[in-house]
Amino acid sequence: MFFVRKVQNEIHNEIGNAKFCLIVDEARDESKREQMELVIRFVDKHGFVKERLIDVVHVKDITSATLKQEICSALSHHNLNIQNVRGQATTSVLEDLATNGSTCSQRDDATYTLKSLLSFDFIFILHMMKEIMGITDKLCQALQQKSQDILNAMHLIPDMGASFSDIIRSRRKKDVVTIEHHYRVDIFTSVIDFQLKELNSRFSEQATELLILSTSLDPKGVFKLFSVCNIWLLAKNFIL
């Protein structure tokens, strides 16, 4: 028992605070009791993928609820943070479909999707979207606050039109496409265009004008935003 604990401690030290995924298998032992083997797959500090068996647990059945409970208990017992678990179900399912799909079309779709998920382009876009969402989240949080007036929130939105009008060029004019051009124009600009269309669909020019002009009627700060000109435009464009 002392040796087992020593090995488990070494595995725990090897994993540290790294992200990991779980490989779970169930089988029956010699006494016909159900048991669950729990394997941790992780990348060590040298960049190598490692797999370590950390526990074998007897379970009363192999339902999803029981397995979930036992997995959580095992991770807690070994002082492994469940927040560090990362799933690999998507690629595993796609690999199975690419090989054993019921139809040719299904196998082709799975193969294409799997190659796309494993490509550098997909990882590049994923990281870029994370950065973009981190920036736009500040705007989303500001717009969700009832106490936030629209004029202050509008300061968080840059004028994106001029920035990208000179970047996007017709594909017919591309004679030689470099790697830099591919990621800067074909990928980065495409993602930004998608985000702009999303914002424009939520905030049309007319709706934005209505919100800005309506701030003149805001009583906060003893009507500090009061503007006769804006009230006149509000009445002219949206009421009269």
pLDDT digits (tens, 9 = 90+) for 141-183: 766 665 555 566 566 555 544 433 334 455 455 455 666 676 6
By CB atoms closer than 10 A (0-12, 13-18, 19+), residue 11 is middle
Percent of the chain whose pLDDT exceeds 70: 75
Residue that finishes a domain, picked among 36, 63, 84: 84
Q: What is the pLDDT of residue 79?
A: 83
Q: Pull the structure tokens for residue 94.
A: 């796609």
Would you call 25 helix, strand, or coil by DSSP?
Answer: strand
Would you call 38 helix, strand, or coil by DSSP?
Answer: strand
Same domain, 44 and 65: yes
Expressed as residue numbers, the domain containing 173 is 120-239
> Would you say how long the chain is, in residues?
240
Lowest mean pLDDT across 98-102, 156-160, 214-218: 156-160
CA distance 30 to 27: 10
- The DSSP 8-state label assigned to residue 73 in this structure reads H
Q: What is the pLDDT of residue 205?
A: 78
> Where residue 89 falls among pLDDT bands split at 50, 70, 90?
low
Q: What is the pLDDT of residue 128?
A: 80
Residue that finishes a domain, picked among 60, 84, 108: 84
Same domain, 131 and 184: yes
Q: Which residue has the higher pLDDT, 40 or 64?
A: 40
Same domain, 109 and 136: no
